[in-house]
Amino acid sequence: MLQISLCPSPVLYPYYKTEQEEYTVVIVDIFRAGTTITTALMNGAVGIIPIATVEEAEIYAGNGFLVGGERGTKRLPFAHFGNAPEEYTRQAVEGKQLVLSTTNGTRAADIVAGALHVIIGAFINLEAVARYCIAKQKPVMVLASGWQNRMSTEDCLFAGALAATIVRLGEEVICEDGASVFQELWGNYNTHEKLMAYLNGRDHYERLRANKLERSVPYCTSLNLTEIVPELTFKISAASTDCPANRLFLPVTPPF
Amino acid sequence: MLQISLCPSPVLYPYYKTEQEEYTVVIVDIFRAGTTITTALMNGAVGIIPIATVEEAEIYAGNGFLVGGERGTKRLPFAHFGNAPEEYTRQAVEGKQLVLSTTNGTRAADIVAGALHVIIGAFINLEAVARYCIAKQKPVMVLASGWQNRMSTEDCLFAGALAATIVRLGEEVICEDGASVFQELWGNYNTHEKLMAYLNGRDHYERLRANKLERSVPYCTSLNLTEIVPELTFKISAASTDCPANRLFLPVTPPF
């Protein structure tokens, strides 16, 4: 029996957080940081360092790191990659440690540092994330990155998809209000085709289209392309003292 | 054509607020402050002063005001009423100016002071609120009070009910992401019976039941009992200098 809650904006995290911190946080940013991190690890990157500020990301770039960076859908001038998952090909990232700093997604990694397990959930690794949550047997909080602290449908809908998938895999769930709403909604959009059609017209898709970035949408709404789950770890990397990364996403795969 | 957005928690208001402040804010707290304020005005109260803090509410009580006050579902010790709409009978409130201070609902009145129009929406005045929004022809923001800054289904669902009702009355709407989600969900629960059955089991209903307050639920989920819309006005009341209320909810009715 797993409890599942949905925190619909990073700003609300303090109000959804429990005292014990004995839970699994699933950070979600479907368009596009979460899908991008998962893709980079799927294509052989050895670790992703999430960085909140542009200034800090630029220092990493200056110290020889490969940096993906974006603000308001625009690639940062010093960055090697933007935030589109299709840029993170095997050829480009295999064997590399990357730094990523995006508008919405990577800040979430800062605020959840106290949770027991922190992973990234995306539609491309939905079932693997469900298996991870079942294996850990801790309450699950889906932390939707949203858009500039506002609620975003596609991120919230992932909470519903996750609840439904956990049930399909044979585990019972108890959903709090928000997760329950989106579990019901997911019933209407639970295939790649329905999901893509539904999100076509939602706010975030329109923002992508306005910036000619909608080519990422079919990929970001694909289901179960990989078994890799990006898991936040808190080890000190071998970076220089100017780049004191103390946490990075590493790939884990079943069995968890 | 009306734009409708849903701010799912008072904490997120700064991120949903627009620069111009040329919009109608609909404050929603179905269980129970919003329904209670609407009921008190329906039963002849001449005005409701929303007060955020317990300390300030106690000063009003000491100065002879009738005070409704509640924290965490418990009536404040100095208050004349709790937060249950059924307490605010015609006999008790007709001709009176009341002060109300509750856990979630009355704080919202503090943060929206800059908006052009601020009203209270509840299921008991749903259609009247829709008519008000149509008459004003400004973008509509539904501000869901939620529970201790967390998202609450019944308040968010009101945004969907309002969008659907505005459409039924002949006006086109453009919903942002959150309002769109709940407009779809409302299609499944758009009668008193379905709504009551759905909310039975949701988080807030369970909290009410745990505190033996579930008797308010059938009333709070009734549709269109009154044409009164509580509208926030910013006039200085005739209160003493110890009670410098500068805003209160007054009843308005169609035509708006």
pLDDT at B236: 53
Mean pLDDT computed over B201-222: 85
Read off the pLDDT of residues A96-115 as tens digits, 9 standing for 90 and up: 999 999 877 677 777 887 77
Q: Say whether pLDDT at A235 is over 70.
A: no
Read off the pLDDT of residues A26-66 as tens digits, 9 standing for 90 and up: 999 999 999 999 999 999 999 999 998 899 999 999 998 99
Class of domain A2-37+108-236+244-251: alpha beta
The minimum CA-CA distance between B65 and chain A, rounded to whole Å, is 33
pLDDT at B124: 98
Q: Say whether pLDDT at B4 is over 60.
A: yes
Read off the pLDDT of residues B129-142 as tens digits, 9 standing for 90 and up: 999 999 999 999 99
pLDDT at B234: 75
What is the rounded average pLDDT for all residues in chain B? Answer: 91
Q: What is the pTM of this model?
A: 0.93
Of the residues B111, B150, B202, the best mutation for testing chain A's interface (the one with the most A CB atoms within 10 Å of its CB) is: B150
Mean pLDDT computed over A122-147: 96
Domain map of chain A by residue range? Answer: 2-37+108-236+244-251
Q: Say whether pLDDT at B237 is over 60.
A: no
Largest CA distance in chain B: 50
pLDDT at B213: 81
Residue % of chain B over a pLDDT of 70? 95
Beta-bridge mates of residue B69: B101
ipTM confidence score: 0.90
Q: Helix B203-210 crosses helix B153-168 at what angle (to 10 degrees)?
A: 120
Among candidates A233, A171, A156, A238, which has minimal Cα distance to A202? Answer: A156
Closest chain A residue to the Cα of B182, Cα to Cα: A181
- Judge contact between A12 and A185, C-beta under 8 A: no
pLDDT at A188: 96
Q: Count CA atoms within 13 Å of residue A207 on its CB side.
A: 14
Quick one: which H or E segment has residue B248?
Answer: strand B248-252
pLDDT at B150: 94
Mean pLDDT computed over A169-182: 96
pLDDT band of B103, cuts 50, 70, 90: confident
Mean pLDDT computed over B242-255: 83
- Judge contact between B36 and B75, C-beta under 8 A: no
The reply to whether residue A188 touches residue B185, judged by beta carbons under 8 angstroms, is no
Task: Please enumerate in sequence order all residues whose Cβ is within 8 A of that of A50, keeping only pairs 6 or more positions apart, or say none.
Answer: A37, A100, A101, A105, A106, A109, A110, A232, A247, A248, A249
- Of the candidates A148, A153, A177, the beta carbon closest to that of B15 is on A148
A:B CB pairs within 8 Å:
72
pLDDT band of B2, cuts 50, 70, 90: very high
The whole-angstrom separation of Cα A41 and Cα A95 is 10
Read off the pLDDT of residues A195-208 as tens digits, 9 standing for 90 and up: 999 998 787 778 88
The whole-angstrom separation of Cα B182 and Cα B158 is 8
Which residues of B lie closer than 8 Å to A, measured between beta carbons? 6, 8-9, 11-12, 15-16, 148-153, 156, 176-178, 180-182, 184-185, 188, 202-204
A73 backbone dihedrals φ, ψ, rounded to 5°: 75, 0
- Of the candidates B6, B15, B184, the beta carbon closest to that of A149 is on B15
* Residue that wins the pLDDT comparison between A115 and A186: A186
pLDDT band of B155, cuts 50, 70, 90: very high
The minimum CA-CA distance between A73 and chain B, rounded to whole Å, is 18
B20 backbone dihedrals φ, ψ, rounded to 5°: -70, -25
Closest chain B residue to the Cα of A184, Cα to Cα: B185
B168 SS3 class: helix
Q: What is the dihedral of CA A67, A68, A70, A74, to 10 degrees?
A: 100
Mean pLDDT computed over A221-239: 85
The reply to whether residue A150 touches residue B16, judged by beta carbons under 8 angstroms, is yes
- Structural tokens at position B47: 């005005």
Q: Say whether pLDDT at B106 is over 70.
A: yes
- Judge contact between A148 and B15, C-beta under 8 A: yes
- Structural tokens at position B116: 């052009």
Pairing of strands A97-101, A47-50: parallel
pLDDT band of A21, cuts 50, 70, 90: confident
